[in-house]
Amino acid sequence: MQMGDIHYYGKNYGEAEKVYQGLVKEDAKDPDAWRSLALTLRAQDKHQPAAEAFAHQAENTKDEMTGYTWYTAAIEYAKAGQKEDSIRALEKATASAGHFTPDVIQSWIEHKRKNEVDAVRLRPHPYEFCLYFDA
C-alpha cells in the first residue's frame, strides 16, 4: 500500500493504479485498497472504473462513511454517463444513512425519474438543434 501511496502523492497515477490493482487482487475485501484505487482512477478521469471501485469499497465497509462512499460512487457514475447506476448508488447512499424507509426512497426516485429524468431524456438537447439547423 505504501508504494502505491508514494506514486499517488507523486501524481504518478499510472504506477499507483498498478499497485492498487495488485492489492485488490490479493484481497478483494480490503476497503482501503479499493478506496485508494478509486481515488487514483478518479484522478485520471476514469470515472466508470472509479465508480465501481468506490462501490466495492462501500460494499466492504459498514461504518458511518458508507453512505458518503455510495454518494461518491454515484457522482462518478454520473460523470461516466451511467445515470441508472448513479441513481442506484444514490438509493444505497440514502438507505445506508438510515433516515428514510425504503418506501419513501422508492417513491422519491420514481417521482424524480418521472418528472425530471424522463422529461430531460425525452426532449432534444440544445446541441442537437445546432447540429441539424445551423448552417
pTM of the model: 0.74
Question: Do 79 and 59 lie in a common domain?
Answer: yes
* 83 has a pLDDT exceeding 80: yes
Whole-angstrom distance, CA of residue 74 vs CA of residue 72 = 5
Question: Do 105 and 126 lie in a common domain?
Answer: yes
Query: Average of pLDDT values for 89-107?
Result: 80
Domain count of the fold of the chain: 2
Question: Do 33 and 79 lie in a common domain?
Answer: yes
Using one digit for the tens of pLDDT, what is the confidence trace for 6-27? Answer: 999 999 999 999 999 999 999 9
Question: Do 87 and 115 lie in a common domain?
Answer: no
Question: Do 89 and 106 lie in a common domain?
Answer: no
Confidence at residue 110, expressed as pLDDT on a 0 to 100 scale: 85
- For residue 67, give every residue at least 6 positions away whose Cβ sits within 8 Å of its Cβ, in sequence order, or none: 93, 94, 96, 97
Question: Do 91 and 108 lie in a common domain?
Answer: no
Question: Do 66 and 116 lie in a common domain?
Answer: no
Query: Average of pLDDT values for 116-130?
Result: 78
Question: Do 41 and 81 lie in a common domain?
Answer: yes
- Reference 53, options 35, 40, 70; nearest CA is 35
Q: What is the CATH number of the domain that holds 21?
A: 1.25.40.10
* 67 has a pLDDT exceeding 80: yes
Question: Do 39 and 91 lie in a common domain?
Answer: yes
The per-residue pLDDT of the chain, averaged, comes to 89
- Reference 93, options 76, 81, 79; nearest CA is 76
Query: Average of pLDDT values for 87-116?
Result: 81
CB 70 within 8 A of CB 92: yes
CB contact burial 106-130 (16+ within 10 A = b; e otherwise): eeebeeeeeeeeeeeeeeeeeeeee
Question: Do 119 and 93 lie in a common domain?
Answer: no
Question: CA 87: distance to chain centroid?
Answer: 10
Question: Do 104 and 82 lie in a common domain?
Answer: no
Domain limits at 114?
A: 100-135
Whole-angstrom distance, CA of residue 58 vs CA of residue 69 = 6
Query: Average of pLDDT values for 68-80?
Result: 94
* 135 has a pLDDT exceeding 60: no
